Amino acid sequence: MNNDLPSTNPEDSMSNFDLSKNESYLISAIGGMISIFDMTTFKKVMPPPPAATCLAFHPRDDSIVAIGMDNSTIVIYNLHSDEVTRKLEDHVKRVTSFAFLNTLNVLVSSGADPYWKLQYYFQTWLYSNVTSVI
């Protein structure tokens, strides 16, 4: 599997990957296009820019991928329909990390600005809370 590298210095690029729960998909990105690998195909999903900064599969549905972006958005992508189903735009700076909390049914994310923690209910993707980390 190869990822497209941005035209800038590769050492400045953030690399990310995640393996789905049933281990049928691997998603990977290095500062450019996102690559999805399954057992038989390899396809490019989203063009740059912005660059992906973090990736995670939904804990219950391997066809749903959350992609944190350099432009401060989180994109919810459906592999089966091959489309963006939701774009979450509540961060001020780039998204640095997130995690699905299966028992609470939320996606918690943080950005380069350390003052924000965002929660989304992943049934409806409705915005729930902003909390200062400091």
Residue range 95-106, pLDDT digits in tens: 888 888 888 788
3-51: pLDDT as tens digits: 444 444 545 556 677 878 877 788 877 766 677 777 567 666 655 557 7
Domain 10-130 has CATH 2.130.10.10: yes
- How much is the pTM? 0.75
Count CB atoms within 10 A of the CB of residue 18: 16
Cα separation, 100 vs 32, in Å, equals 24
Long-range contacts of residues 48-53, Cβ cutoff 8 Å, at least 24 apart: 48/4, 48/6, 51/6, 51/13, 51/14, 52/14, 52/16, 53/14, 53/16, 53/94, 53/95, 53/96
The residue with greater pLDDT, 74 or 51, is 74
What does the block give as tokens for 106? 């939320």
pLDDT of residue 1: 42
The DSSP element (H or E) to which 40 belongs, if any, is none
Q: Where are the domains of the chain?
A: 10-130
pLDDT of residue 6: 47
Res. 128 pLDDT band, cuts 50 70 90:
low
At residue 125's C-alpha, the angle toward residues 134 and 55, to 5°, is 70
